[in-house]
């Protein structure tokens, strides 16, 4: 997996505010839910970028912005240097072909009245230039075969398939137009444990086969670690820390990342006695009224006055700037320091 070369996607200063209105006839805006509030991301060719965070942190909104299901309030999404937030009509359609999405819930993201063949072939209706009419059926069969489904099941309906199989259908649909980027929003979290591994393996195989770049959004930190080359941690509409998987998982410097990692239950009963757990107090604040300064300060055990006043920038913290260490990666904390929270044996080695 080479991450060198040009980024396929570059996100710069992305904002998405959903207006909150009051009144029925004369709606006036009384505020905004700041779902995404200044996000920068790069996605390189052939790599997997994992985005983790808790519910409400804006990770799904980022996904929807990337495939242009939502219009950004502000900021740029550059696909090979071209800003897709400014595009419309034919130009947008052409770009969309290359950025496809796989949804979380394989039960609601497939139309129950359409056959599998029609679902997987529908992208060809929208982009008829990709496959001539006579060729579509054959292509759909091929796609079903690629994702490990029986091509003869073309005429079945979604309800005749299990959750894992449905997610395969969703993946086949995402692949139909041979995109370069696939944005997968929690693609395995609705699946049974024994089936999750099958789908993760499938996605990894397809990545090699079709030279895909993935944005993999999930809340399951161990799966994200397995599949990702780089990881971005989100909290309340912003990225708080980003780096490669070793930097994030073994040398986290942001307190939120540390708390998140320490809270993950480790499937090793021997680890429970000698493991340090950071239990955060309280809940995530409302994105309609985020705290001033650092957004994590209300739950942070390190918070000082500076955190209320100054928004920490996402950059390599000053203490690590000249150090050749995995701790030297982008972290949006005024008081960043290294802390090992995942016990080494929990990784199996």
Partner 1 sequence: MDEGATATAAQDEPPLLDVRDLHVEFRTRDGVARAVNGVSYAVRPRQTLAVLGESGSGKSVTAQAVMGILDSPPGFVTRGEILFRGEDLLTMGAEERRRVRGARMAMIFQDALSALNPVLTVGEQLGEMFRVHRGMSRKDARARAVELMDRVRIPAARDRVGQYPHQFSGGMRQRVMIAMALALEPELIIADEPTTALDVTVQAQVMELLAELQREYGMGLILITHDLGVVADVADHIAVMYAGRIVETAPVHEIYKRPAHPYTKGLLESIPRLDQKGRELYAIKGLPPNLLNIPTGCAFHPRCPLARDVCATDEPELYRISARRGSACHFWRECLGEHQR
Minimal distance, residue 192 CB to partner 1, in Å: 4
Nearer to partner 1, 213 or 262 (CB): 262
Minimal distance, residue 187 CB to partner 1, in Å: 14
Angle CA(33)–CA(39)–CA(42) in degrees, nearest 5?
Answer: 150
Q: Is 268 in the site for partner 1 (CB under 8 A)?
A: yes
Q: Is 271 in the site for partner 1 (CB under 8 A)?
A: yes
Nearer to partner 1, 77 or 259 (CB): 259
Binding to partner 1 by CB under 8 A, coded x per residue (else -) over 39-78, reads ---------------xx-----------------------
Binding positions for partner 1, 210-229, rule CB under 8 A = 219, 221-223, 225-226
The CA–CA distances, whole Å, from 74 to 66, 69, 86, 274 equal 13, 15, 10, 46
Binding to partner 1 by CB under 8 A, coded x per residue (else -) over 243-262, reads --x-------------xx-x
The strand ranges marked E within 45-114 are: 48-52, 74-79, 82-83, 99-102
- The count of chain residues that interact with partner 1, using the rule CB under 8 A, is 45
Between CA 240 and CA 235 the distance in angstroms is 6
Could you tell me if 80 and 181 are in contact, meaning their C-beta atoms sit under 8 angstroms apart? no
Residue (of 190, 240, 243) closest to 219 by Cα position? 190
Question: What is the distance, to the nearest Å, from the Cα of residue 323 to the centroid of all Cα atoms in its chain?
Answer: 30
Q: Which helix (H) or strand (E) holds 10?
A: strand 7-22
Nearer to partner 1, 87 or 263 (CB): 263
Nearer to partner 1, 14 or 223 (CB): 223
User: What percent of the chain is helix, strand and coil (3-state, nearest 5)?
Assistant: 35, 20, 40
Q: Which residues bind partner 1 (CB under 8 A)?
A: 1, 54-55, 162, 164-165, 192-198, 200-201, 204, 219, 221-223, 225-226, 245, 259-260, 262-272, 277, 279-281, 283-284, 347-349
């Amino acid at each position: 997996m080479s991450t060198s070369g040009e980024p396929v996607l570059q996100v710069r200063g992305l904002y998405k505010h959903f207006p909150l209105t009051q009144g029925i006839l004369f709606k006036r805006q009384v505020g905004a839910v700041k779902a995404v509030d200044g996000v920068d991301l790069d996605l390189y060719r052939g790599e997997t970028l994992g985005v983790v965070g808790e519910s409400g942190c804006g990770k799904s909104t980022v996904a929807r912005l990337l495939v242009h299901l939502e219009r950004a309030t502000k900021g740029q999404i550059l696909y090979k240097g071209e800003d897709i937030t400014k595009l419309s009509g034919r130009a947008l359609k052409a770009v969309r072909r290359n950025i496809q999405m796989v949804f979380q819930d394989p039960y609601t993201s497939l139309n129950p009245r359409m056959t599998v063949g029609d679902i997987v072939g529908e992208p060809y209706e929208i982009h008829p230039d990709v496959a001539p009419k006579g060729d579509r059926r054959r292509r759909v069969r091929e796609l079903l075969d690629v994702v490990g489904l029986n091509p003869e099941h073309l005429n079945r309906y979604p309800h005749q398939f299990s959750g894992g199989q449905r997610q395969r259908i969703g993946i086949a649909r995402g692949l139909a137009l041979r995109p370069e980027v696939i944005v997968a929003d929690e693609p395995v979290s609705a699946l049974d444990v024994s089936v999750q591994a099958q789908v993760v393996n499938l996605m990894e195989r397809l990545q090699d086969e079709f030279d895909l770049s993935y944005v993999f959004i999930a809340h399951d930190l161990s799966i994200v670690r397995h599949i990702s080359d780089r990881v971005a941690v989100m909290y309340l509409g912003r990225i708080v820390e980003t780096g490669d998987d070793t930097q994030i998982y073994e040398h986290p410097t942001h307190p939120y990342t540390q708390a998140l990692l320490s809270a993950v239950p480790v499937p090793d009963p021997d680890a429970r006695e000698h493991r340090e757990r950071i239990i955060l107090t309280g809940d995530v604040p409302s994105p309609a009224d985020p705290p001033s300064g650092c957004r994590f300060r209300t739950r942070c055990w390190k918070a000082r006055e500076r955190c209320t006043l100054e928004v920490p920038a996402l950059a390599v913290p000053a203490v690590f700037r000249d150090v050749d260490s995995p701790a030297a990666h982008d972290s949006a904390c005024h008081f960043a320091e290294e802390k090992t929270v995942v016990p080494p044996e929990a990784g199996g080695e």
